[in-house]
Amino acid sequence: MITHGFMRRRLPSLCFYGFCMGLAALPARAADCGTVVVPPGLGVGPGADITSFNPLFIDSLYNAEASYLIFEQLLWINRFHKIDWSRSIA
């Protein structure tokens, strides 16, 4: 049987441990990753640093894939090969 004295002595420590367990359950904060790394070929190859996002100066498959992912939806081309301005971002 739990007595009133037992609860008075143990309640602060139980609350503290419960609080600590609650903090341990919180998700971790996202860290600053620094350099953008994109594997070419849909994740098949090794990662490499992105050196240019300019689609006019693409010199590697890494830069081509990054540029494609960024600029793909700027102009939406419909099945009649015309720009659909309602779906385009530009």
pLDDT tens-place string over residues 22-51: 666 666 666 666 666 555 555 555 656 666
Quick one: how far is CA 46 from the chain centroid?
Answer: 19
Quick one: how far is CA 65 from the chain centroid?
Answer: 18
Look up residue 58 and give its two tokens.
């693409």
pLDDT tens-place string over residues 5-21: 666 677 777 777 776 66
- Whether the CB-CB separation of 41 and 60 falls below 8 Å is answered with no
Quick one: how far is CA 90 from the chain centroid?
Answer: 25
For the chain, the structural domain boundaries read 4-71
Is pLDDT at 84 greater than 70 in this prediction?
yes
Q: What is the pLDDT of residue 65?
A: 77
Block residue for tokens 């971790």: 28
Region 53-59: what's the mean pLDDT?
71
Cα distance between residue 67 and residue 53, in whole Å:
5
Q: What is the pLDDT of residue 48?
A: 63
